[in-house]
Amino acid sequence: MNTPKIETKRLILRRFTEADIGALFLILGDEEVNEFLPWFPMKSLEETRKFYEENFASDYKKPCAYRYAVCLKDDNVPIGYIVVSTDDRYELGYGLRKEFWHRGIATEAGKAVVEQLRRDKIPYIIATHDINNLRSGGVMKQIGMEYRYSYEERVKPKNLTVTFRMYQLNIDGNNSRVYQKFWEDASVRFIEEGV
């Protein structure tokens, strides 16, 4: 199923629409929100529209996509996003306007998406975070993900070398599975103690 709508106690998770471009710009245009993401903050509504078309609208045409606007129930306006790729990585990503940080919203959305993936028989998810972005790692832990390893990668378009921590949740219970591609591709890779 393609991006099924999900409701939680406080949130509606739904597809983005053309009408959400302004709200999406508030998320993608904020330097602090996008500090640890590989792309630069959006500079205009037009740039945001192009991002929407390439990263959301195009996936909504596929048979299966998990690309959600995170909205509060009281107004159904996007304050963030949460996505899971449908390639063999099943990679989780999320972002939230900073005025909504520290309220457990990303965790609430993440747990709800994991339950949808469980219903849809998706076997696992992975996620990575810049080692300097500890809050993101905290969300991963709170939704049940476990640290597996760290690795260095050159990210574009920012052209920076970043050390990432990779987390994984085996939804199907196969706890011996570890997604290895980032480990195999990295020339610098290691396992940190106590993460």
Write the pLDDT tens digit of every residue in 138-179. Answer: 999 999 999 999 999 999 888 999 999 999 999 999 999 999
Nearest to 126 by CA among 69, 79, 63, 83: 83
List, for residues 62-106, the tens digit of each pLDDT value. Answer: 888 999 999 999 999 999 999 999 998 999 999 999 999 999 999
Domain spans, the chain? 6-190
Task: Write phi, then psi, for 103 (nearest 5 degrees).
Answer: -120, 5
Lowest-confidence region among 3-7, 40-44, 80-84: 3-7
Yes or no: say if 80 and 95 are a contact pair by the CB < 8 Å rule.
yes
Classify domain 6-190 at the CATH superfamily level: Gcn5-related N-acetyltransferase (GNAT) (3.40.630.30)
Task: Write phi, then psi, for 56 (nearest 5 degrees).
Answer: -125, -65
Average pLDDT over residues 31-39: 90
pTM of the full structure: 0.95
Q: Is 65 exposed, middle or buried (0-12, 13-18, 19+ CB in 10 A)?
A: buried
Residue 41 pLDDT greater than 90, yes or no: yes
